[in-house]
Amino acid sequence: MATIKDVAERAGVAPSTVSYVLSGSRKISEDTRRAVQAAIAELDYHPRASARTLRSARSDVLALAVPRVPGEYRAVDGRFAIDISDAARDHGYDLLLMTDLDGVGGLRRVAGSGLADAAVLMAVEEQDPRIGAMRELGFPTVLLGRGDDDSALPWVDLDWEAAVALALRETVAAGHRHIAFLASADHEIAARRGYAVHGLDGARSAAKETGADIGVHRSSSDPDVLGRRVREVLGARSAPTALVVQHLHRLPHLLAEVAAAGLRVPEDLAVVPVGALPDDLGGRPLPRIDLPVAEMSSAVVELAVKAIAAAPPGRDTQDDPTPGLPPHRLIEPQMAPGLTIAPPKMPT
Partner DNA sequence: CTGTTAGCGCCTTCAG
Partner DNA sequence: CTGAAGGCGCTAACAG
Binding site for DNA (CB under 7 A): 1, 3-5, 12-17, 19-20, 22-23, 25-29, 31-32, 45-48, 51-52, 54-56, 314
Residue 64 Cβ vs a copy of itself, minimum distance, rounded to whole Å: 8
Q: Which of 25, 29, 50, 151 is close enough to bind a copy of itself by CB under 8 A? A: 50
25 binds, among DNA, a copy of itself, none (CB under 5 to 8 A by kind): DNA
Residues 284-303 that bind a copy of itself (CB under 8 A): 284
List, in order, residues 6 or more apart from 124 with CB less than 8 Å away: 131, 143, 144, 145, 146, 147, 155, 194
82 binds, among DNA, a copy of itself, none (CB under 5 to 8 A by kind): a copy of itself
182, amino acid identity? L
Window contacting a copy of itself (CB under 8 A); options: 21-29, 48-56, 167-175, 181-189 = 48-56
The secondary structure of residue 77, as a DSSP letter, is H
Alpha helices (runs of H) in the chain, residue ranges in sequence order: 4-11, 15-23, 30-43, 49-56, 75-90, 105-113, 129-137, 160-173, 186-190, 194-210, 223-235, 251-260, 293-310
Check: CB of residue 118 under 8 Å from CB of residue 140: yes
Site string for a copy of itself, 148-177 (x = CB under 8 A): ------------------------------
CA-nearest of 132, 75, 83, 69 to 104 is 132
Residue 59 or 219 having the CB closest to DNA: 59
Give backbone dihedrals phi and psi of 97, rounded to 5 degrees, phi first: -95, 120
Residue 84 Cβ vs DNA, minimum distance, rounded to whole Å: 26
Q: Which of 19, 53, 205, 317 is close enough to bind a copy of itself by CB under 8 A? A: 53
The secondary structure of residue 343, as a DSSP letter, is P
80-95 b/e (C-beta count within 10 Å ≥ 16 → b): bbebbbebbeeeebeb
Q: Does 5 participate in binding a copy of itself (rule CB under 8 A)? A: no
Residue 25 or 151 having the CB closest to DNA: 25
- Dist. CA 204–CA 186, nearest whole Å: 17
CA-nearest of 91, 77, 74, 79 to 298 is 91
Q: Does 24 participate in binding a copy of itself (rule CB under 8 A)? A: no
Q: Which of 24, 283, 321, 324 is close enough to bind a copy of itself by CB under 8 A? A: 283
Residue 32 Cβ vs DNA, minimum distance, rounded to whole Å: 4
17 binds, among DNA, a copy of itself, none (CB under 5 to 8 A by kind): DNA
98 binds, among DNA, a copy of itself, none (CB under 5 to 8 A by kind): a copy of itself
- Dist. CA 164–CA 248, nearest whole Å: 13
Element (H, E) at 65: strand 61-65
Kindly determine how many residues on this chain lie close enough to bind a copy of itself according to the rule CB under 8 A. 56
- Dist. CA 217–CA 213, nearest whole Å: 13
192 binds, among DNA, a copy of itself, none (CB under 5 to 8 A by kind): none
261 exposure class (CB count in 10 Å sphere: 0-12, 13-18, 19+): middle
Q: Which of 178, 279, 330, 343 is close enough to bind a copy of itself by CB under 8 A? A: 279
Q: Does 121 participate in binding a copy of itself (rule CB under 8 A)? A: no
Residue 58 or 253 having the CB closest to DNA: 58
Neighbouring C-alpha atoms within 13 Å toward the C-beta of 342: 16
Q: Which residues bind a copy of itself (CB under 8 A)?
A: 1, 44-54, 59, 61, 64, 66, 68, 73, 75, 77-79, 81-82, 85-86, 89, 94-101, 106, 108-110, 112-115, 223, 250-253, 256, 278-279, 282-284, 314, 316
